């Protein structure tokens, strides 16, 4: 980017586009509450929306106590009559609702992300939080007025137009890149990702128990309030991290070109290959995360598990707990190995966990699969940090816009592939999508390992110039 500090002064240790005379007050520079609130809203909303669709499409009622796929304790060996049709219908509506937001959000994120390099990070945190609140308000209207299910698409589109949750992620990670020390960035990014797990775990327990006690309406009011609080915090409490802000047009192709130039600028040299390979690895990892998460609730609702909303809540909490265990694992393993090999262990943990879940027919085996995922999130903060270190400190906004664009594409592909694969595989192996995800993760593991091996070669290249012992003896 061309917004370098006046007089060519070097960046401060925090590494953001800041003026040398800017105040160093650290008060209200914590972006974590925005991510916590937004993740709380998303964590409550997504499982309950799937259960709401199940109850609505099965019984034609919005406020019933439905949400358990089989009405039993999970001991049944076969699916009730008509359940496969219901599973396919819910999976397809999940697909339609997600596609409605992702098609719009993919372009919104890549527009607002680079714009934040000029306008600041706070606007790109406020806007999507407001959009999430509007989406929850639309869902509440559908439930109160018993509107047809297609009206849910309207709320999803409103959220997508404002950038959706992916823009909040991009803004938060760019904010952390602005204020963090380059040397400690991997762990700082991991802390931010741990916030995802903390909020998601709380949301899963609260959402499942609250829905069981009072139905769907009260939890969705919490979703609305969390989105609104995130917007208010970003607007009135959060200090801006980009202090050299400039006025500029929002609707211009320059913002898209800023993302494009990250990978194509001649000055990049061979760095663009690493950017492309790390982006590909990130795409595959996040696609599997999103895709398997989308169908987990449906997998647990139906036979043979037949979980109710309470067990679904505990299962989601166990899934989100992996963010915290991954943070602890990253902190410990960084003391004895390179970040890349920590990420490789995380991918191995993910592969093993998905393999067990694919074969789970009982509740204990399902929770065993969740337990094996205890390091599964270590790969994403490592890849984000390595991407961040490949670009200049003044290009973090454009970089995380590219990452957000990748995440939006991940959501699109994951929703299309896994929500289509699940109903298609019901007749031969219900857990096949999880097995498919485990196989896909072998590719990013190979990419990360290859880059690390190639990077380690120059460290020993100087030995090639030394004479051999035989030559020394001859001399």
Question: How far, in Å, CA of 11 to CA of 375, rounded?
Answer: 34
Question: Poorest-confidence range of 16-30, 155-169, 366-380, 428-442?
Answer: 16-30
**Residue 473 located in a structural domain:** no
**Of 227, 294, 224, residue with least CA distance to 53:** 294
Is position 171 within any domain? yes
Tokens of 395: 């290009």
Supply the DSSP symbol for 12: P
Residue 50 lies in a domain: yes
**Nearest Cα to 42, choosing from 161, 135, 181?**
135
pLDDT tens digits, residue range 144-175?
A: 998 988 899 999 999 989 988 888 988 898 88
Q: The domain that contains 123 carries what CATH number? A: 1.20.1250.20
In a domain, 78, yes or no: no
409 falls in which pLDDT band (50, 70, 90)?
A: confident
Query: How confident is the model at residue 363, as a pLDDT?
Result: 92
d(CA 326, CA 373): 9
The sign of the CA dihedral 63, 67, 70, 74 is negative
- Residues whose CB is less than 8 angstroms from the CB of residue 371 and which lie 6 or more positions away in sequence, other chains included: 318, 353
Contact between 195 and 39 under an 8 Å Cβ cutoff? The reply is: yes
Q: Which residues contact 413 (CB under 8 A, 6 or more apart)?
A: 287, 291
Judged by average pLDDT, the poorest of 13-17, 157-161, 290-294, 456-460 is 13-17
pTM of the model: 0.74
Confidence of residue 280 (pLDDT cuts 50, 70, 90): very high
Start-to-end CA distance of the chain, whole Å, equals 54
Domain around 382: 29-60+88-239+267-453
The tens digit of pLDDT for each residue in 79-114 reads 555 677 787 888 788 888 878 887 888 788 888 888
- pLDDT of 9 reads 36
Q: Pick the most confident of 85-99, 252-266, 414-428.
A: 414-428
Residues 6+ apart with CB under 8 A from 199: 35, 36, 37, 38, 39, 40, 43, 320
Judged by DSSP in three states, 304 sits in: coil
Confidence grade of residue 232 (pLDDT, cut at 50, 70, 90): very high
Residue 441 domain flag: yes
d(CA 344, CA 26): 35
What's the structural domain count of the chain?
1
Between CA 308 and CA 31, with CA 414 as vertex, the angle to 5 degrees is 80
| Among 20-24, 113-117, 410-414, 425-429, the range of highest mean pLDDT | 425-429
For residue 86, the model assigns a pLDDT of 81
Cβ-based burial of 205 (10 A; exposed 0-12, middle 13-18, buried ≥19): middle
Q: Is 458 inside a domain boundary? A: no
235, 239, 243, 249 alpha-carbon torsion, rounded to 10° = -20
**Residue 474 within any structural domain of the chain:** no
DSSP character string of 209-276: HHHHHH-SHHHHHHHHHHHHHHHHHHHHTPPPS--S-----SSSTHHHHHHHHHHH-GGGTTHHHHHH
Give the pLDDT band of residue 289 (cuts 50, 70, 90). very high
Instruction: Answer whether residue 281 is part of any domain.
Output: yes
63: tokens are 């406020």
| Beta carbons of 465 and 392 less than 8 angstroms apart | no
Q: What is the dihedral of CA 237, 238, 244, 245, to 10 degrees?
A: -80
């Amino acid at each position: 980017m061309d917004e370098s500090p006046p007089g060519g002064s070097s960046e401060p240790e925090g590494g953001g586009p800041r003026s040398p005379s800017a105040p160093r007050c650290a008060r209200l520079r914590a972006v974590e509450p925005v991510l916590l609130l937004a993740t709380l809203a998303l964590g409550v909303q997504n499982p309950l929306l799937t259960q709401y669709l199940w109850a609505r499409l099965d019984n034609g009622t919005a406020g019933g106590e439905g949400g358990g796929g089989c009405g039993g304790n999970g001991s049944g060996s076969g699916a009730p009559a008509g359940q496969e049709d219901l599973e396919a219908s819910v999976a397809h509506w999940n697909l339609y609702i997600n596609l409605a937001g992702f098609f719009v959000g993919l372009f919104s994120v890549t527009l607002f992300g680079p714009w934040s390099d000029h306008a600041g990070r706070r606007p790109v945190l406020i806007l999507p939080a407001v959009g999430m609140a509007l989406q929850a308000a639309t869902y509440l209207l559908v439930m109160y007025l018993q509107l047809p299910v297609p009206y849910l698409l309207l709320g999803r589109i409103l959220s997508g137009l404002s950038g959706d949750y992916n823009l909040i992620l991009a803004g938060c990670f760019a904010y952390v890149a602005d204020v963090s020390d380059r040397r400690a960035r991997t762990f700082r990014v991991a802390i931010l990702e741990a916030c995802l797990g903390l909020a998601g775990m709380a949301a899963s327990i609260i959402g499942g128990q609250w829905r069981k006690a009072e139905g769907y309406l009260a939890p969705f009011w919490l979703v609305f309030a969390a989105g609104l609080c995130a917007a208010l915090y970003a607007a009135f409490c959060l200090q801006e991290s980009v202090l050299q802000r400039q006025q500029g047009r929002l609707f211009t192709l320059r913002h898209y070109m800023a993302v494009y130039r990250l990978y194509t600028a001649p000055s990049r040299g061979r760095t663009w290959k690493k950017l492309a390979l790390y982006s590909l690895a990130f795409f595959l990892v996040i696609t599997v995360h999103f895709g398997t998460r989308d169908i987990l609730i449906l997998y647990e609702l139906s036979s043979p598990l037949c979980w109710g909303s309470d067990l679904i809540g505990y299962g989601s909490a166990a899934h989100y707990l992996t963010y915290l265990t991954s943070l602890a694992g990253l902190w410990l393993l960084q003391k004895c190995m390179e970040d890349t090999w920590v990420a490789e262990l995380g991918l191995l943990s993910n592969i093993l966990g998905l393999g067990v879940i694919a074969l789970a027919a009982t509740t204990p085996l399902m929770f065993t699969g969740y337990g094996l995922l205890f390091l599964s999130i270590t790969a994403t903060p490592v890849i984000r940090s390595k991407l961040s270190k490949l670009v200049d400190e003044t290009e973090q906004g454009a970089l995380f816009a590219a990452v957000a664009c990748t995440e939006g594409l991940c959501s699109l592909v994951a929703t299309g592939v896994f929500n289509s694969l699940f109903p298609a595989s019901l007749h031969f192996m219900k857990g096949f999508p999880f097995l498919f995800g485990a196989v896909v993760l072998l590719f990013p593991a190979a990419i990360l390992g290859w880059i690390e091996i190639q990077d380690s070669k120059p460290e020993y290249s100087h030995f090639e110039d030394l004479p051999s012992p035989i030559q020394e003896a001859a001399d």
